[in-house]
Amino acid sequence: MHRTFETTTERRQRTLDGQWEFVTDPDDEGREAEYHEAFPSEDADRIAVPSSWNARTAYADYVGPAWYRRTLELTESESLLVTFHGVGREATVYLDGAELVSHEGAYTPFDALARDLAPGEHELVVRADNTRTETTVPHDDVDWFPYGGIHREVVVETVPDVYVRDLAVDYELDGDDATVEAEVTVHNAGALTAEPELAVSVGDETAVDDVEVDGMDALTTTLSLTLTDVDRWTLDDPTLYDVEARLRGEQAAARDGEVFTDDRRDRIGFREVAVDGRDILLNGDPVTIAGVNRHEDHPDWGAAQPLGIQQRDLEIVERANCNAVRCSHYPNHPRFLDLCDEAGVLVIEELPLWQVDRGTMTASIESAQRTLIEMLERDRHHPSVFAWSLSNECANEQNSVVDATRQLRGTVDGLDGSRLVTAASNTDWEGEADRVFEFCDFLSVNAYWGWYRDDGDWADHLDRIEDEYGEKPIVVSEFGAGAIPDERTHESRKWSESYQADLLADCVDLFLDRDSVAGFTVWQFADTLANPVDAMSRPRSRNNKGILTEHRRPKDGYRALAERLDDRS
């Protein structure tokens, strides 16, 4: 399943995991040939869903459109809510030959309701396309591989005509007491007005209301609850509370007037994050962020990682004495965030606006806004996510980038006031300041002193930022060095594990000794497949700055980081 817990008890819920028929479409003929009505099954391969097609040797380098097909058998008439949790990168879904929904963006979910499907066999066809261009989000020149395919779960839920469409829980803490506001959207897909009872539970408390929803309409209502003596979500004791919105009502007479029920469940954790001077506070106390940057990438799985890999990765993070992950550079699988909630690991989640400059920022802002909203709505309940990162290394000196960031910050403020906002900058502060930091609660700073540049160092870099922007906490969001696995040298030369280990240990000491630095995230967790356009500057076609190999074998840098953090704790 796509989460670590059940998101409904009332709906019949299935994943469409398994083998789908699959054809690539390098000449982009499928639409004209109407594959959605006449799928070329006779030429089709079989592929796993979820998976990245590039993780299969036969499709390792394939970039372009590809088509998927499978059938679904219903024994009785049902209305189905079909959710795709992630398709790389663009998708159009057809049900029984007609377009059901389309979506852009590889890392956020989309859904559609297919109402009153007749008993019998139904056909789902999906056109997925992993082509990236100058203006897509992410664009074609980013430093990670353009994995294609239905790489996250497809979940099908049987829903009644009147069902819980959305649940957004917010809270205010006053000492150990919490005032909770639950905003619930009820959709009535039927023709007649419905008057169900709506109950919202948080932990052991429940609030109930009668709602009236016109036919073919939706209603959003807010229920309030008060909880006393709540256990806060902390890194040592990450307490989670179940939340549930439940509907109960009578079907319209045309549907026999029988009682229907529906529910939607999630989890929250009570915690407060804030900044105070140069500190990041969790529940009022300063917290030092010690983490890694992690891509969703694995040689055997591509971007589609099974639960076991996600669990193991998090275990490896924690065994390095780290308490944080920067989900570089895009919304991660929601189940990975569940695991972080459960483990008490902090998360910075990022919008995939990576090294965007003037022209392209203007063209990309609409998709960026859409993805940002989808990310905020999907992940608003994860206590582990303490910060949204709006971008990475964009041209922050340019007006269009500054304007776009102002808009993105406005969007966050409109939807979520419970987290910090940041953006990662690679401004070198030699001459100009970073104009995007104005919109940030803390400063995420990327630099590669001792790797790409040897004409300066971290101490001077941080001095310059403190001079210009001393009042906000700094998180060093990227630093590191490439290390070819098993390359060990007496002289600690670049590309060796020894060099990487020394650099990381020195940097960690320097950061931990500095009052202005609230934490760091090492670049990067494991070696990742590079964008093919960068192959010549990336030995083994990989970004080798991982402290683990791509198969998660620890390099010397991993041990150096773990030991240094242990010594300093």
Q: Which is nearer to ligand ADA, 269 or 482 (CB)?
A: 482
- The answer to the question of residue 523 lying near ligand ADA (CB under 6 A) is yes
Q: Which residue has the tokens 């959003």?
A: 220
Q: Closest CB to ligand ADA belongs to which residue?
A: 143
> How many whole angstroms separate alpha carbon 225 and alpha carbon 206?
7
CA separation for the pair 337, 317 (Å, rounded)? 14
In the complex with ligand ADA, the residue whose CB is nearer, 12 or 453, is 453
Interaction mask 423-442, ligand ADA, x per CB under 6 A:
---x----------------
Mark 129-168 with x for binding to ligand ADA (rule: CB under 6 A) and - for no binding. --------------x-------------------------
Owner of token pair 């203007």: 362
Query: Could you give the string, one character per residue 163-202, with x where binding to ligand ADA holds by CB under 6 A and - elsewhere?
Result: ----------------------------------------
Q: How many binding residues for ligand ADA (CB under 6 A)?
A: 9
- Least separation in angstroms between residue 64's CB and ligand ADA is 24
Q: What are the structure tokens assigned to 107, written together?
A: 């890392």
Alpha helices in 416-518 (DSSP H): 458-469, 497-512
When the beta carbons of 84 and 429 are compared against ligand ADA, the nearer one is: 429
Q: Are 247 and 186 in contact (CB under 8 A)?
A: yes
CB of 397 to ligand ADA, least distance (A): 17
Could you give the string, one character per residue 202-241, with x where binding to ligand ADA holds by CB under 6 A and - elsewhere? ----------------------------------------
The least CB distance from residue 393 to ligand ADA, in Å, is 5
Q: Which of 130, 364, 405, 446 binds ligand ADA (CB under 6 A)?
A: 446
Interface with ligand ADA, residue 550, by CB under 6 A: no
Torsion over CA: 510, 512, 517, 520 (sign): positive
Closer Cβ to ligand ADA, 143 or 497, answer by number: 143
User: Distances in Å between the alpha carbon of 47 and those of 8, 101, 207?
Assistant: 28, 22, 46
Q: Is 392 in the site for ligand ADA (CB under 6 A)?
A: yes
CB of 423 to ligand ADA, least distance (A): 12
Query: For ligand ADA, which is the closer residue by CB, 238 or 450?
Result: 450
Q: Is residue 510 packed enough to be buried (19+ CB in 10 Å), middle (13-18) or exposed (0-12)?
A: middle
Tracing tokens 């395919």 back to the chain, one arrives at 149
SS3 category, 281: strand
Residue 259 phi/psi, 5° resolution?
A: -75, 135
Which amino acid does the sequence have at 361? M
Query: Shortest gap between Cβ of 176 and ligand ADA (angstroms)?
Result: 40
C-beta separation of 79 from 113 below 8 A: yes
- As measured in angstroms, the least distance from the Cβ of 384 to ligand ADA is 22
CB of 478 to ligand ADA, least distance (A): 5
Rank residues 545 and 555 by Cβ distance to ligand ADA and give the closer one: 545
- Strands 289-293 vs 517-522: parallel, antiparallel or unpaired: parallel
CB 538 within 8 A of CB 482: no
Nearer to ligand ADA, 84 or 479 (CB): 479
Task: Report the nearest approach of ligand ADA to the CB of residue 328 (Å).
Answer: 6
Which of 325, 543, 557, 565 touches ligand ADA by CB under 6 A?
543
Determine if 478 is a binding residue for ligand ADA (CB under 6 A): yes
Q: Out of 393, 487, 497, 550, point to the residue binding ligand ADA (CB under 6 A).
A: 393
- Is the CB of 134 or the CB of 176 nearer to ligand ADA? 134
**Minimum distance from residue 545 beta carbon to ligand ADA (Å):** 5
Q: How far apart are CA 256 and CA 250, in angstroms?
A: 9
Taking alpha carbons only, the member of 248, 12, 253 closest to residue 117 is 12
Residue 88 CA: distances (Å) to CA of 25, 156, 185, 535: 15, 19, 29, 21
Instruction: For residue 444, state whether it binds ligand ADA (rule: CB under 6 A).
Output: no
Burial string for 419-442 (b: 16+ CB within 10 Å, else e) reads bbbbbbbbbebeeebbbbbebbbb
Is residue 290 packed enough to be buried (19+ CB in 10 Å), middle (13-18) or exposed (0-12)?
buried
How far apart are CB 533 and ligand ADA at their closest, in Å? 12
The distance of closest approach from Cβ of residue 130 to ligand ADA in the complex, given in angstroms and rounded to an integer, is 18
61 burial (CB, 10 Å; 0-12 / 13-18 / 19+) is exposed
When asked if residue 422 is in the footprint of ligand ADA (CB under 6 A), the reply is no
Which of residues 151 and 545 has its CB atom nearest to ligand ADA in the complex? 545
Length of the chain: 569
Q: Say which residue the tokens 């003596």 belong to.
A: 229
| Residue among 70, 56, 66 at smallest CA distance from 17 | 70
Short-list 345, 343, 414, 341, CA closest to 379: 341
Of the pair 126, 348, the CB lying nearest ligand ADA is at: 348
Whole-number minimum distance, CB 447 to ligand ADA, in Å?
8
Interface residues toward ligand ADA, by CB under 6 A: 143, 392-393, 426, 446, 478, 523, 543, 545
